[in-house]
Chain A
Amino acid sequence: MNKLTALFLLFLFTCKACYCETLPYNFYDTFCIPITLSITEEISTKDNIYEGQSVQFKVRKNVRHNGQSILKSGDVINAKIETIVTSGMNGFPAEIIIDDFQIPGICNSQLISTYNKKGQNRCLWVYPLKWSLTLIPFAGSLTNLIKGGHAKIRPKDIVTIYYYPNWKEDKDLCIEDIKNENGTSLSE
């Protein structure tokens, strides 16, 4: 009976140590392939853009891995506007954050792809001006009227995202390979 109790206790102590959770990611591998893109149509915080809006990017250079073509120059991929920061008082710049790039045949879990673009940051001269104007009563508050620059992403801007082919694939985050009309996949 004692042996049984001892065995049970041993099991209780060791079972937690044996239990090994498998993480859905493994960032061990450092090899990455940069994918350079440019937006197809200019977007700006000045225009009517909204969070969650789909935007399209064009691949600038062919992307190959292990002798296979992943993306061809001119291919169009979708992404989403994640967050929009509007410009604020005292020269606070606007900002656009883009993510959720949908590349056929590539899992989102294998991409480091957050891209952000800011407008002109006028705080650098607005704050010194504000502090120097505080000598005159209420004059410092006038700089509140100066707003920061709008954020724009132009077709000439180069957006680089990174593809880590050896990172784990999270099947839920994979974009199925899109087939062309003639049956060949877009990534072939």
Chain B
Amino acid sequence: MKKIISLLLLLLLISPAYAGLAEMNAIQQRIDSIGTRILNFNKIPKRIIFTYSEETKAEWLGKYHELKSRQIIVYDELYQFTQTDDEIAAMLSREIATVLKSYSGMWGGSIDAIQVALSSKKFETVADKRAVDYMVKAGYNPLALIVFINKTYPQKRQDVIARHNLTSKRLARIYEYITYKYPEYLQDTEYINNQYYQNFLLNSLENRRKLEEKIKMHSTGEVHYE
């Protein structure tokens, strides 16, 4: 009887730890699978690895893993916002676009990597646009990028003295990019019935009106989104 009880206690102690490990392994496997699919379908001939971490992203030290060691770290704080494979693909595609920048240019890409780190606002828009292309080529719905950003990033008051664009501006630019390049996705019934996407449509009324005006005027200039 004692043996059975001690075995049961041992099992109780081990099983939660194992369950946690198994869960982490499943997440890692999911991230690897989606990330590699994006790399292969886009025929990206560079090495990039994906690592899931339960830690919180450091603000300054060790911030640019993607630029230094071409390693995309998916932090738990971001992963928790993703519900579908499309949304994980959105998160990874953005990072892949950033990593690829560190592979081009002088000194093994060091100069370009510094530029990306210093001009983060500028490159944020580029990464968003490239992410849309990567997602489409890998068979994911680019509207998931809008959903992911809409759920994840807060709305600051201004971006004049800031290192990042206003989230509403980012979303509007992504929407514009999809409107011009992949308009077929805008009619996707899956996302028409997605409450998070509908929330974006609601909070971007003014910006979308500006885009409609641009389309109507056949203008190629930049729209000043809010």
- CB B89 to nearest CB in A, in angstroms, measures 17
A127 CB contacts on chain B under 8 angstroms: 118
A27, A49, A51, A92: the one within 8 Å of B115 (CB):
A92
Contacts of B115 in A (CB 8 A): 92, 121, 123
Using Cβ atoms and an 8 Å threshold, which residues of chain B touch A95? Answer: 126
Query: Nearest-CB distance from A77 to chain B (Å)?
Result: 18
Number of A-B contacts (CB under 8 A): 48
User: Contacts A25-B41, A82-B133 given: A52-B126 contact, CB under 8 Å?
Assistant: no
Tier of interface size on chain A: 20 to 34
Whether the Cβ atoms of B43 and A51 lie closer than 8 Å is no
- Given that A25-B40, A52-B181, A82-B133 are known contacts, is A89 also in contact with B119, CB under 8 Å in the complex? yes
Q: Which residues of A contact B (CB under 8 A)?
A: 23, 25, 27, 48-52, 82-83, 85-86, 88-90, 92, 95, 97, 99, 112, 116, 121, 123-124, 127
Can you offer 30 A-B residue contacts whose CB atoms are under 8 A?
Answer: A23-B40, A25-B40, A25-B43, A50-B180, A50-B220, A51-B177, A51-B180, A51-B181, A52-B180, A82-B133, A83-B129, A83-B130, A83-B133, A85-B126, A86-B222, A88-B119, A88-B122, A89-B119, A89-B122, A90-B119, A92-B115, A92-B119, A95-B126, A121-B111, A121-B115, A123-B111, A123-B114, A123-B115, A123-B118, A124-B111
